[in-house]
């Protein structure tokens, strides 16, 4: 057991993930940020991927280091193949290989139904879905070779219910679950697990900036907290017998 410090408080760490390299996409804020912190507390070296918010990414790196963890920030638009290739070239050169991948990067633009264009649809799919494919393809060869790997895709309740944002978002998140199933089946004998987490209305900037979204939509009558999603990600990293599953973190909104 090790001691780390977060926000001036002592945090207990088992360092279970010591020696593991983790990539969290879209990690400069929101869910990605909390997931990165939890992985760092567990002992992993965490790569903080960001698209444009360098200041927030570097601030998170500093926060993790002050806690006693290890982290580095890497810029890349993970919806672009060239950016992903360049990012992984840097990772392979400086850090080795990625043992744990959390595909968290995503957008949830809101439009009225009639105003959604094909370009809007494509953009949502590119960022929410294509990024997960590109990064997964990059990490899988080494994961198979070492017979260990964890891929966790952050989907959404919109994949199961249609959600409140629109078809562009729901389709992109539903496709992530299909991607999860296929990879899990193909990699099952390789020691690589692939799972999805489907949150609903987690209290991040995305929720706070949308006054039309209220806790009244949720049976438990409150927003979820980022750490309630991050703890599920840690569970899936720790467990090698769970694969091909979607874990719902939604306050009872969708029950399966």
Measured CA to CA in angstroms, residue 119 lies from 77, 125, 168, 240 at distances of 17, 10, 10, 39
- Which residues are marked as active site? 169
| pLDDT at 9 > cutoff 90 | no
Average pLDDT over residues 108-134: 96
Say yes or no to pLDDT of 89 above 50: yes
pLDDT of 6 higher than 90? no
C-alpha to C-alpha distance for 239 and 255, rounded to whole angstroms: 23
Q: pTM of the full predicted structure?
A: 0.93
Instruction: Give the DSSP letter string of 230-254.
Output: HHHHHHHHH-SS--S-EEEESTTSS
Please report the pLDDT score of residue 3 as a whole number.
46
Indicate the pLDDT class of residue 185, thresholds 50, 70 and 90.
Answer: very high
DSSP state of 97: -
Q: Percent of the chain having pLDDT more than 90?
A: 81
Q: Which of 12-16, 81-85, 112-116 has the lowest mean pLDDT?
A: 12-16
Task: Return the closest-CA partner of residue 22 out of 225, 243, 233.
Answer: 233
Which structure tokens are listed for 65? Answer: 């280091």
The span from the CA of 139 to the CA of 137, in Å, is 6
Phi first, then psi: what are they for 210, rounded to 5°? -120, 95
Mean pLDDT, range 35-53, rounded to an integer:
98
- C-beta of residue 212 within 8 angstroms of C-beta of residue 168: no
Residue 15's pLDDT is 85
Q: Which single residue is written with the structure tokens 């879905």?
A: 129
Q: What pLDDT shows up at residue 144?
A: 98
pLDDT at position 214 is 82
Per-residue pLDDT reduced to its tens digit, 240-255? 999 999 999 998 888 8
Q: Which domains does the chain have, with CATH numbers?
A: 15-249 (3.40.50.720)
């Amino acid at each position: 057991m090790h001691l780390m410090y977060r926000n001036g408080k002592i945090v207990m760490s088992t360092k279970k993930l010591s020696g593991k390299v983790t990539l969290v996409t879209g990690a400069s804020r929101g869910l990605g940020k909390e997931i990165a912190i939890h992985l760092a507390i567990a002992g992993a070296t965490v790569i903080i991927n960001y698209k444009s918010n360098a200041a927030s990414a570097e601030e998170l790196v500093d926060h993790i280091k002050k806690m006693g963890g290890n982290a580095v920030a890497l810029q890349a638009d993970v919806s672009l193949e060239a950016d992903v290739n360049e990012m992984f070239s840097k990772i392979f050169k400086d850090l080795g290989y990625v043992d744990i991948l959390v595909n968290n990067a995503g957008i949830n633009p809101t439009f009225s139904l009639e105003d959604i264009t094909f370009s809007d649809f494509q953009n949502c799919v590119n960022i929410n879905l294509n990024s997960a494919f590109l990064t997964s393809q990059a990490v899988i060869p080494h994961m198979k070779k070492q017979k260990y790997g964890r891929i966790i895709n952050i989907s959404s309740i919109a994949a199961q219910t249609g959600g409140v944002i629109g078809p562009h978002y729901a389709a992109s998140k539903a496709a992530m679950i299909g991607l999860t199933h296929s990879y899990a089946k193909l990699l099952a004998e390789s020691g690589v697990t692939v799972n999805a987490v489907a949150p609903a209305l987690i209290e991040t900037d995305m929720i706070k900036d949308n006054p039309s979204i209220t806790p009244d939509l949720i049976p438990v009558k409150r927003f979820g907290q980022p750490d309630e999603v991050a703890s599920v990600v840690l569970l899936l990293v720790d467990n090698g017998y769970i694969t091909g599953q979607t874990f719902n973190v939604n306050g009872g909104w969708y029950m399966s």
